[in-house]
Amino acid sequence: VTDETIGTLAAIRPFSFPVVRCAALTPGSDGPLAGIVGDRPALLLVSGSVQRHYGAQIDQLAADPALNVQAVLPVPTGERHKTLTTVEAILHRASERRFPRRGVVVAVGGGILLDTAALAASLYKRGVSVIKVGTTLLAQVDAAIGIKCGVNTRDGKNLAGAFSPPEAVLTDGTLLQTLPIRQVRCGLAEMIKLAVVADATLFELLQRHAGAFLAGPRDNGSARRLIDRAITGMLEQLQPNAYEHDLQRAVDFGHTVSPSLEAATDYRIHHGEAVALDCALFTAAAHLLGVLQRAELDQVVGLLDELGLDRWHPILEDEQFLDRALTAAEAHRGMALNAPLPAGLGTLRFLADRADLPLDLLVEAARLLRGSA
Amino acid sequence: VTDETIGTLAAIRPFSFPVVRCAALTPGSDGPLAGIVGDRPALLLVSGSVQRHYGAQIDQLAADPALNVQAVLPVPTGERHKTLTTVEAILHRASERRFPRRGVVVAVGGGILLDTAALAASLYKRGVSVIKVGTTLLAQVDAAIGIKCGVNTRDGKNLAGAFSPPEAVLTDGTLLQTLPIRQVRCGLAEMIKLAVVADATLFELLQRHAGAFLAGPRDNGSARRLIDRAITGMLEQLQPNAYEHDLQRAVDFGHTVSPSLEAATDYRIHHGEAVALDCALFTAAAHLLGVLQRAELDQVVGLLDELGLDRWHPILEDEQFLDRALTAAEAHRGMALNAPLPAGLGTLRFLADRADLPLDLLVEAARLLRGSA
């Protein structure tokens, strides 16, 4: 048989979605959800925290005549519940209610809820629309913004997922008022990540306002400036590379060893905390490699310290752990390390090759972080 | 708070893949797989039938120095194994082998294997490339061609899935020689489906050659003409509507009550057999509705009879079953029935509205099929 092309299938799938600042859970026909969802059947997927803190608003939306809410489905969160089993439970409960293909999933919660709900939405009948309402800082500036969703498998973080754009993302600063301080820190870590390698202005904003933001209030003018800048910065990073065809990504800063760190500590270290540790480690490594000045390293570490984010953990001095973590990162980035390193505040360079980052240099970087005052 | 757009993310994801007739499992640097995969790590996902009938060729590919095969993973098939549990097992075995993001899944098997493997590939690290090699007639003319993949849930067929284009589809007629006759019939049913509502020439080709094709040989000139015509016809249907934005699809002919029929009989009726029954039912209904002549109905039924495909099943006279099945079809097609009906051989019209198709007319159509000689 000579190879012969019988035919070809080609198409494009464009998407475009807005990130809208609004009072997201406002009921009635003037509310933002009614404006977007219209009369389409809706499923509200909510986390336990959202039920606890915003149960009354959720109930109001469920009964809202301006919406067509089929059901409110509570979804268990925590990294241990971020699994295909939870996704399958969501699919089952949607099927039970005969949720149709033209329905809209409204996901209200933190990053784990959004990642899980969006994957379920992308799989249900091969994909229904999803609107993301992030209720944590991390979700608002990071998890809700992109088109990635996914769940963990026994082998690691987000190993089962999809690129699946939402229909809209709603950002509501008032929802941050009830957020535990530990989770505010986690969100700030993602903002620091972006600032250190890509946005010197955001870094200055963080130095000036992040401390007050942490203490609260979290929806005043400077809080919104901080969050808007983080969101637009994130969108700028994603815009040319939404599907990650380019595996050298600035937003991977803070995400080189952190997935392994979370898994190794059985998720006792939360995602943002792991990101902060990873940022500190690679900032110190950048200094040791001669691409970042000591004063800049001190500014990064100083900001982490001020916000109560750890910059050192004993496992970061464990060569075996680091070796495995880098190997996992390589497998995820096209079999190359492609690790972003700050080269001055707000700019970066990539360490493409594992050979450019000796393990003992990383260990030395960790020791430096432990030792420095 | 006044609603205010902070930013927007927009992108397109184009795809294009060829369907290539070739000796798909030929090893060596001249083989089609080596030509496409190159030095990228590959995982071969194969069904039990493929292992039984083509184990030697698969072993040869696994050891082929022209390829970089990390592992051969046998995947359990049968509708009962087409589940997220099987997908998760594939993800785990890929992770164990550190299968990288730039790796290529080569899926070799029938429709169930391809649907399951392609969903696993689309989820693994949010998507790795997949090449589909269909080893059944149904896979070659239908399951391998489109961009849909998916698995069943406890609530129904293909309720967890994705639109995920392959990198290439390889079609090899010699693989059909070992195919059990029941499975050849199932593939012919999908070809009949397409012919009746969209391709009068394919219908004539089937009348002329399908009987001989069933008996074999299955890779001679007329066999290839049949299959190539079915594939190009399928590609023409999919090209303008790959993501099913238009929910009136000719290729849904034979797929209105058949998913429920398969589930109701616990998958003892195979997919193609259910498609044939559904085609017969809606062809008879078209006649009763006055859009198809009796002689045309007789031609369709005559072809099914000749090929040994049942055109009647007792459950098709069960109003309760039909009611549930149509409701499920509506939920899948934008809350409208959107059922294709042949309006003359090779052309169609859509029954958009459930109200246009009384249940007792469907029951009468089933009785007509039972009664007619």
Span B110-145, pLDDT tens digits: 999 999 999 999 999 999 999 999 999 999 999 999
Q: Which member of A125, A159, A232 has the closest CB to residue B95? A: A159
- For the cut 80, the answer to whether the pLDDT of residue A2 exceeds it is no
User: Helix, strand, or coil here: A110?
Assistant: coil
Contacts of B82 in chain A (CB under 8 A): none
Residue A192: which pLDDT band, with cuts at 50, 70 and 90?
A: very high
Q: For position B333, what pLDDT does the model report?
A: 84
Radius of gyration of chain A from Cα atoms? 21
How many whole angstroms separate alpha carbon B308 and alpha carbon B300? 13
Average pLDDT of the segment spanning B339-352: 96
Average pLDDT of the segment spanning B290-307: 97
Average pLDDT of the segment spanning A273-298: 98
Contacts of B32 in chain A (CB under 8 A): 3
Residue A265: which pLDDT band, with cuts at 50, 70 and 90?
A: very high
- Sort A128 into a burial class: Cβ within 10 Å, 0-12 / 13-18 / 19+: buried
Whose CA is closest to A187, among A244, A81, A110? Answer: A110
Write the DSSP string, B252-299: GTT-SSHHHHHHHTTT-S-HHHHHHHHHHHHHHHHHHTTSS-HHHHHH
Whose CA is closest to A121, among B336, B329, B161? Answer: B161
> Which range (A152-166, B1-15, B80-94, B207-221) has the least confidence?
B1-15
- For the cut 90, the answer to whether the pLDDT of residue A333 exceeds it is no
Residue A53 Cα distances to A26, A56, A135, A177, angstroms = 15, 8, 10, 10
- For the cut 80, the answer to whether the pLDDT of residue B2 exceeds it is no
Residue A332: which pLDDT band, with cuts at 50, 70 and 90?
A: confident
Q: For position B368, what pLDDT does the model report?
A: 97
A100–B7 CB contact, under 8 Å: no
Residue A187 Cα distances to A139, A176, B120, B270, angstroms = 7, 11, 31, 51
Write the DSSP string, B212-238: HHHHS--SSHHHHHHHHHHHHHHHHHH
Residue A90 CB partners (closer than 8 Å, separation 6+): A45, A73, A75, A116, A117, A120, A124
Give residue for tokens 């509502």: B197
Residue B157: which pLDDT band, with cuts at 50, 70 and 90?
A: confident
Tell me B356's DSSP state: G
A101-116 core/surface letters (b: 16 or more CB in 10 A; e: else): bbbbbbbbbbbbbbbb
Q: For position A358, what pLDDT does the model report?
A: 95
B22–A15 CB contact, under 8 Å: no
- For the cut 80, the answer to whether the pLDDT of residue B149 exceeds it is yes
How many whole angstroms separate alpha carbon B3 and alpha carbon A35? 11
Contacts of A88 in chain B (CB under 8 A): 84, 153, 160
Q: Dig out the tokens for B76 from the structure.
A: 């359990």
- For the cut 60, the answer to whether the pLDDT of residue A373 exceeds it is no
**Average pLDDT across chain A, whole number:** 96
How many whole angstroms separate alpha carbon A313 and alpha carbon A302? 16
- DSSP H helical ranges for chain A: 32-37, 48-62, 84-96, 111-123, 137-138, 181-198, 200-215, 221-238, 258-264, 271-288, 294-307, 319-332, 359-371
Residue B335: which pLDDT band, with cuts at 50, 70 and 90?
A: confident
Q: Are B7 and A18 in contact (CB under 8 A)?
A: yes
Model ipTM value: 0.93
Using omega within 30 degrees of 0 as the cis cutoff, is the peptide bond preceding B217 cis? yes
Residue A331: which pLDDT band, with cuts at 50, 70 and 90?
A: confident
Q: For position A335, what pLDDT does the model report?
A: 79
Average pLDDT of the segment spanning B197-211: 98
Q: For position B332, what pLDDT does the model report?
A: 81
Residue B331: which pLDDT band, with cuts at 50, 70 and 90?
A: confident
A160–B88 CB contact, under 8 Å: yes
A10–B13 CB contact, under 8 Å: no
Return the H-helix or E-strand segment holding A70: strand A68-74
How many whole angstroms separate alpha carbon B159 and alpha carbon A10? 25
User: Helix, strand, or coil here: B123?
Assistant: helix
B156–A243 CB contact, under 8 Å: no
Contacts of A217 in chain B (CB under 8 A): none
Chain A residue closest to B243 (CA)?
A13
- What share of chain B in percent tops pLDDT 90? 93
- For the cut 70, the answer to whether the pLDDT of residue B1 exceeds it is no
- For the cut 90, the answer to whether the pLDDT of residue B235 exceeds it is yes
Average pLDDT of the segment spanning A346-370: 95
**Residues linked to residue A286 through DSSP beta bridges, in sequence order:** none
- For the cut 80, the answer to whether the pLDDT of residue A263 exceeds it is yes
